[in-house]
Amino acid sequence: MQWLQDNQNRFGFRLRLVPLLKVQGEKLSSSLVRQWIERGEIEKATQGLGRYPTIIGKVIGGKKRGRLLGYPTANLSPDPKKLLPPSGVYAGRVNLKGRFYKGMINVGAKPTFEDSSFGVEVHILKFSGHIYGHTIKIEVASRIRSIAEFTSPGELSRRLEEDRVRTERIFDGMKPSRENHHVSDFEN
C-alpha cells in the first residue's frame, strides 16, 4: 500500500482507498462468497456478488423421467471446475436467447429413482422447445429444500408442484438481475 501511495504521481495514477464492504456484518471477500455458495446460502452470495450465482452448462440427454411426471427437465453438463451449490432444489431463472424463464433446479442425486449419480437439471416453467446441445445459463436465486427420497413417482410429482408454487412466489418478490445478458449467451 505504501509503495502505491509513494508512486502515484510518478506513474500517473491516483490512489483512492475505499472502505471494506460487509454483508450481514461479515467482511466481503471472494473466499467468503465461495463459502456461501458451497453452503447453499444463495441470498448472501447474491448480495456479495451483486448478481445471482450462475450455473452454465450444455443441455444433454437424460432419462426423461421428469417428462413422465409432467415436469420435463433440461439436464446439464456443467464445467467440473466451476463451483456449484450443494445438493438441493433451488429456484432460479434460465436465460434462453436473452429471454428469462423461471426454473426449478435440482443439484445432486435422484434418490426416488435409486439414482445416486450427481447431476444438474432444471425444469423451465412455461417453456416448451428443443434445446439439446445448447449451452444455457441459470441464475440461482434461492434454495427451496434438500434432496428427498419419495415413496413413489406420484408423491414426487405432488412435491414438484409444491416446489413450482414456491418458485413462483419467490419470483413475485424478486428483483431483476443486475447482470447484462446477450443473445450470445445462448450458444450452439
pTM for the model: 0.81
* CB 76, CB 57: distance < 8 Å: yes
The three-class DSSP label of residue 17 is coil
pLDDT (average), residues 74-82 = 91
Most confident of 21-25, 61-65, 112-116, 127-131: 127-131
- The grid coordinates listed for 74 are 433440461
pLDDT band at residue 174 under the 50/70/90 scheme: low
* CB 125, CB 103: distance < 8 Å: yes
Question: How high is the pLDDT of residue 186?
Answer: 30
pLDDT band at residue 188 under the 50/70/90 scheme: very low
| Beta bridge partners of residue 160, listed in sequence order | none
pLDDT at 184 over 90: no
Tell me the helices (H) and strands (E) count for the chain, helix number first: 5, 8
* Domains of the chain, earliest start first: 51-185 (2.40.30.30)
Burial level of 5, CB count in 10 A (0-12/13-18/19+)?
exposed
Question: How high is the pLDDT of residue 173?
Answer: 66
* Nearby residues of 139 by Cβ (< 8 Å), 6 or more positions away: 51, 52, 53, 54, 92, 93, 94, 95, 177, 179
Question: How high is the pLDDT of residue 83?
Answer: 94
Q: Where are the beta strands (DSSP E) in the chain?
A: 22-23, 26-27, 54-60, 74-78, 88-96, 99-110, 115-124, 135-145
* CB 84, CB 105: distance < 8 Å: no
At 115-153, the pLDDT tens digits run: 777 889 999 999 988 899 999 999 999 999 999 989 998
Nearest Cα to 147, choosing from 97, 182, 95, 107? 107
The three-class DSSP label of residue 126 is coil
Q: Compute the distance between CA of residue 168 and CA of residue 187 in angstroms, rounded to an integer.
A: 27
